[in-house]
Each structure stands twice: as structure tokens, then as C-alpha cells.
Chain A
Amino acid sequence: MMKEVRLIRKASQGFLLTSALLMLLSTVALYFYVKQLMQQEVEEELFSTQARIESALQLSKPPFSLPPVLEVEQVPEMGTEKVKDTIIYDPSQKEMEEFRELVSFKNINGKNYKITVRNLIVESEDILFAIILSYLLIILLVILIQFYFNREKNKKLWAPFFRNLQAMKTFSLSSDTPIPLEKSRILEFNELNKEVMMLTNKVRTDYKNLKQFTEDVSHELQTPLAIIQAKIENIINGDHLNDMQFEHLTSIQKDIQRLTQMNKRLTLLTKIENKQFVNLEQINITQLIEETVQNFHEISNAEIEFSVMDKIGVRMDVHLAEVLCNNLISNAIKYSPQEGKIEVSAKENSLTISNKGIQALEHPEMLYSRFYRESETVKSTGLGLAIVKRICELYGFTVVYSFEQNKHVFSIKFK
């Protein structure tokens, strides 16, 4: 995966990198240019000194030397003129020094002279370094100041973007109001806002319509179901029915009941998602689960055993707390094999309910999806655990499923 970098940091990095490169290149260029310039200057000076000496000799002034900077001597033969660097002993500095030297041969008044003029290089190199150093310091300062201003400017420039990003992060599907996006003076940002606004509004209305649809369908189904149910009851209480017909009719009653249950649960899910449960009360979950188990004893043979029972106090809606306990216990009963023991424990702030099972679920990630069932052997609406999950999400509880020692374990951690 590509490493992610913050926008402002990335921009600063780019700036620093190009600046450093430019600084390096310009310094090198400056170095060679100044060096070249100074060499020219030194050479010009050497030539002019040489020319002055030449004219002095022409005026028959006696030749003189001032080693190491100036040496005039009579030579038998003429040589070629050349300019070079040389290292010779400088008595004034008492050490070997590097010189630029011009050796020229002149025939003046019938005599051959070798004129050597030298100039100390160190001096010019010092100047060169001084120039480069000052340049470096200045450019570094400029870059630093630029860097700082740039960063501040970037921060200011992107500020509305970051604020809007923050606002988008808090976006909720079920929210009634659109995302509060800030308008800025930057065209692209406003365009982005417009697009985001359009998308989120679309998603919100779609979601709302879907919810409304679920609600409407559930609601509209109640009346026809009521009619069917009422008619069946009147048929059952009429005459001329045989056992077989009665069986069929009661079987239809059972299916109507399933539909009714499903309807009720779907409506409940929608209501939880709509956050229509706003009454918070202090509830003793441990006591509630004990009462729930008590109620189930009347309709189920399942053996339910309590282990640790610490008191768990939670603030939530009473009805939802009842639904939560009810769904967890009834789920355990439904999927528990005959003779299988169900264990309930409340420890610190976790409620754990486990029932025996043969193997772990194949798709535990689907467990809380609507209408998901791993086996068709058990009659259920497939909504019980989806409701459990929604209730937990509503109050920030966590629900965890695991399969340990041939047991399906559901654990709810209350805040």
C-alpha cells in the first residue's frame, strides 16, 4: 500500500526538496562563474603588470625583481608566453603558496627578457569562498522564510477543505439535516462541496425512502393479515370441517403469526434506526435476564444455568432492554440441541450467554444481517440478532460471537 502523507506536509516536502536542489545547483554555478571571473581578473592584472614592466624596460629603466611576485631576467633565447598555476616558496609567509603565473618573453632594445609576474591565488579563493558562503546563507534564509510563509498560506488556503472534511466525517445516513459545508472563496472547493452535497442528499433521501418503504409495507400488511386471520377463525368455528381441513387452517394461522412477528421486528428495527427510543432509565440487566429466563421456563424445557451473577446497571430504554434479553435467550433456546445446557453469566459489565453446538458458524460475519440463517431446521424470522446488534449499536455496547469448546458464545459488553 502507498504510504499516506498529510496534504500540508506533502506540499512542504515538495517545496523543501526543490529548494534544496535549486540551492545546490545555483551554488555550483555561482562557484564556477565567480571562479572564472576572478581568474580572468587575476590574469588581466598579470598582463597589465607585465605591460607596465615592458614599457619601463623600453624606457631603459634597469630591470628589477621582486620575487615571488615579479621576476625580470635577461635570457639568451625567447620562449613562448604562458599562463599557469604554480607552487613556490613565499618568504613573507614562510610557506609554500599557490600562485598564478604569467611568463612572457620580450625583445626590448635588442635584449631578450623573460618577465614572470605572479599573483597569490589564495587571496582570490578566500574571496570566492566568502561570496559562496554569503550566498548560501542568504538563500537558506530566504528558503526558510519562504517555507514558513508557504506553510501558513497553505494551511489557510486549505482550511475550509479540512473543516468540510471534518463535517463529512460526522455525516450520518439517518440525519435529518444536510452536512453543514462551509462556503469558501475557492471555486474548486465549492464545486467539491456541491458534488458532495448532491451525493449525500441523494443517499439520505434513498435511505429515508427505504425506511419509509419498510415502514409502509409493514404497516399496510397488518390489515390484510387481520382479515385473513379473522376469516380463518370464523371458518374454524363454522360447521362441516374435517380434521384435515382444521390442520391446514391452523397451519395457516402459524404462518400468519410468523408474518406478524416479522412485521413487528422489521418495524422495531426501523424504529431503533430512527432513534425513536429516547427514554433512558437505569436498568438492572442481571435482574432482567433472570426474569426473562423465568418466563421462558414456562414454554421451554431448556436447562438454563446461571454462573457468576454480578449486578450490571445500564441506562437504556426499558422496552429495548427487554427485547435484548428476550432475543438473546430465545436465540440460545432455538439453536440449542435437546438436552443441551444454556449458560448465562454476568461478570463485571459483560453479559455472556452460551448454548451447545456442533460446529462453529460458517459465516459469523453474516450473523447480524437481516434474514440470515445458517440452518433451515429452526423456524425463525432471522431478525432477532439483527435487532440485538442494532440495540447494542444504539447505546455503544459491543456484542461478540465466538465458538469455544463446542459452545456458541454471545457476549455483550456494556459501557
Chain B
Amino acid sequence: MKILIAEDEIDLQQSIATYLERDGNVCEVASDYNDAAYKVDLYEYDLILLDVNLVTGSGLDVLKKLKKDKRDAGVIIISANSSLDDKLDGLDLGADDYITKPFHLAELNSRIKAVLRRGKYGGDDTITFNEIMVDTKSRTAYINGRALSLTRKEYDLLVFFLTNQGRVLSKEIIAEHLWGDNSDLADNFDFIYVHINNLRKKMTAEGAKYIKTAYGSGYKFIAD
């Protein structure tokens, strides 16, 4: 996939690019408003990451321009402002998703894949990995065509693993993905462990042993 990262903080921009390129994506970067507007005008992207506060202008203006020109790239807004208004403004203007700084790259990756999956950018509603197939529309997972009975959290966990294959996911990242702001309560009790273990058992029962432990306390979803 071809992704444009419009972010004026070079360090962050590069970190995002590094992470996404590992999945075989082609990343281009824009460090200010003019750069972003220029690139958006000239090239086609599957997805654009747009920082709201670009040095020389607003990311939202780039978004307006995209929508005016009826370009069909997916757009995820990145903002340092967790305010609801910004979020609603962004989504009203036609952004596909919205993420607040600071965020986990795994979380961003997961959101990017979700946006790309949505039919309108040529993706489909399923995620396939070897014998595993997930229908994101009906929120059901199949192994060798047999439906798994998963709880809501186990399903979310599986999709998160699938979209971050081969990545080491710490419990902190997983907890935050599943419970957001309440995740600080989760690390008092080993709840993630329980959820992961349940998912693992259900998958192993069907012969799918992909959830591996990494560095003692982290997890990795990987084919042997």
C-alpha cells in the first residue's frame, strides 16, 4: 500500500514510516502544509495520515482539498488535541478515523488496516491468515471454515494480533487497545493474560498455534 505521512515532527514521522514499511508498505512523507498539499495533488495514495497542526497550515485544509477533488484515499487524522470538537470536525469533513497523540504504532497500524479493509478503498471485509479467516462485518472468526466462539474482547484481540503480525506486543499496548483509558486498572490484575490465554486455548484446539510469548512478558503473532 502507498501511504503518505503528513506530520511536521520529523522524529515521529520517521518512526511511523519505519514501522509501516516493515509490512511492505511504501511510505512517503510531508513535513509541512505546502509539501502535503503538493504531494496530495500530484500523487495517488491508498492512505494519508494527516496531522491537524502542520507547521504552515491545517491538516484539515488538506482534507477539505482532498474531498473537493473527490480523491478516494483513506484519511486518518492525527491530533495532539483530544478534544471532541476536533474529532467531530475531522470526521465531518470525511476523515475515516481519528487518533490522538500519543498513540501506539501497533494501534495506528490496526486502524490503518481497518480503514483499508472498508470496501470503498478496494479492500474487502475479511482478514485471512493461513487457515484463519475473519469476517469483520459479522465479527466472526473461522479456522478451516469452522466458526470459533469468541467473546467480544477475544475477537478484538485476535483482530489486533492479525493486523500486527510478527510484531512484539507488550501487555501495555494490548491493554490500551482493549480498554483504552481504563487499562491502568487492568495491570493490577493479570486480566490481559486471562483473555489471551483463553483465545490461545480456543485457537490451539483448532490447531492454530500462532500466539507466541516474546521476551517473557510480551506476545507475538507469527507463523512458524
The answer to whether A237 and B12 have CB atoms under 8 Å apart is: no
Contact (A299, B102) CB under 8 Å given A227-B12, A253-B170, A257-B183? no
The answer to the question of B114 belonging to the interface, with a C-beta cut-off of 8 Å to chain A, is: no
The answer to whether A246 and B218 have CB atoms under 8 Å apart is: yes
Over the window 300-336 of chain A, the binary record of Cβ atoms lying under 8 Å from chain B Cβ atoms (1 yes, 0 no) is 1100000000000000000100000010001001100
Looking at B22, B105, B187, B214, which has the most chain A CB atoms within 10 Å of its CB? B105
Q: Enumerate chain B residues within 8 angstroms of A334, measured Cβ to Cβ.
A: 185, 188
The answer to the question of A123 belonging to the interface, with a C-beta cut-off of 8 Å to chain B, is: no
For the complex formed, measure the closest distance between the CB of A267 and the CB atoms of chain B, giving whole angstroms: 6
A226 vs B108: C-alpha distance when bound (angstroms)? 12
The answer to whether A222 and B102 have CB atoms under 8 Å apart is: yes
The answer to the question of B81 belonging to the interface, with a C-beta cut-off of 8 Å to chain A, is: yes
In the assembled complex, 20 residue pairs joining A and B whose CB atoms fall closer than 8 Å, in A order, are A219-B80, A222-B101, A225-B101, A226-B103, A227-B15, A230-B16, A231-B11, A233-B105, A234-B15, A243-B216, A246-B168, A246-B170, A247-B217, A253-B173, A258-B184, A264-B181, A299-B179, A299-B189, A300-B191, A334-B185
The answer to whether B172 and A234 have CB atoms under 8 Å apart is: no
The answer to whether A333 and B185 have CB atoms under 8 Å apart is: yes
Closest A-B pairs by Cβ, 6 of them: A246-B215, A230-B15, A226-B102, A222-B80, A226-B101, A225-B102
A261 vs B82: C-alpha distance when bound (angstroms)? 11
Within 8 A of A (CB), among B195-224: 195, 214-218
For the complex formed, measure the closest distance between the CB of A364 and the CB atoms of chain B, giving whole angstroms: 24
Over the window 16-33 of chain A, the binary record of Cβ atoms lying under 8 Å from chain B Cβ atoms (1 yes, 0 no) is 000000000000000000
A219 vs B176: C-alpha distance when bound (angstroms)? 20
> Which residues of A line the B interface, CB within 8 A?
219-220, 222-223, 225-231, 233-234, 236-237, 241-243, 246-247, 249-250, 253-254, 256-258, 260-261, 264, 267, 271, 295-296, 298-301, 319, 326, 330, 333-334, 379-380
> Which residues of B line the A interface, CB within 8 A?
9, 11-12, 15-16, 18-19, 22, 80-84, 100-106, 153, 167-168, 170-173, 175-176, 179, 181-189, 191, 195, 214-218
Residue of A nearest to B85 (CB): A276
Given pairs A223-B101, A225-B101, 8 additional interface contacts (CB within 8 A): A222-B81, A223-B80, A226-B102, A250-B171, A261-B181, A299-B191, A300-B191, A330-B182
Q: Enumerate chain A residues within 8 angstroms of B191, measured Cβ to Cβ.
A: 298-300
- Which residue of B153, B171, B176 is within 8 Å of A298 (Cβ)? B153
Contact (A227, B11) CB under 8 Å given A264-B181, A333-B185? yes
The answer to whether B102 and A246 have CB atoms under 8 Å apart is: no
- Which residue of A234, A247, A257, A300 is within 8 Å of B189 (Cβ)? A300
A246 vs B19: C-alpha distance when bound (angstroms)? 18
Q: Enumerate chain B residues within 8 angstroms of A222, measured Cβ to Cβ.
A: 80-81, 100-102
The answer to whether B18 and A234 have CB atoms under 8 Å apart is: yes
- Which residue of A229, A296, A380 is within 8 Å of B182 (Cβ)? A296
The answer to whether B168 and A256 have CB atoms under 8 Å apart is: no
Contact (A257, B185) CB under 8 Å given A226-B101, A234-B19, A247-B217? no
For the complex formed, measure the closest distance between the CB of A233 and the CB atoms of chain B, giving whole angstroms: 4
- Which residue of B103, B170, B176 is within 8 Å of A236 (Cβ)? B170
Q: Enumerate chain B residues within 8 angstroms of A260, measured Cβ to Cβ.
A: 102
Q: Enumerate chain B residues within 8 angstroms of A271, measured Cβ to Cβ.
A: 83
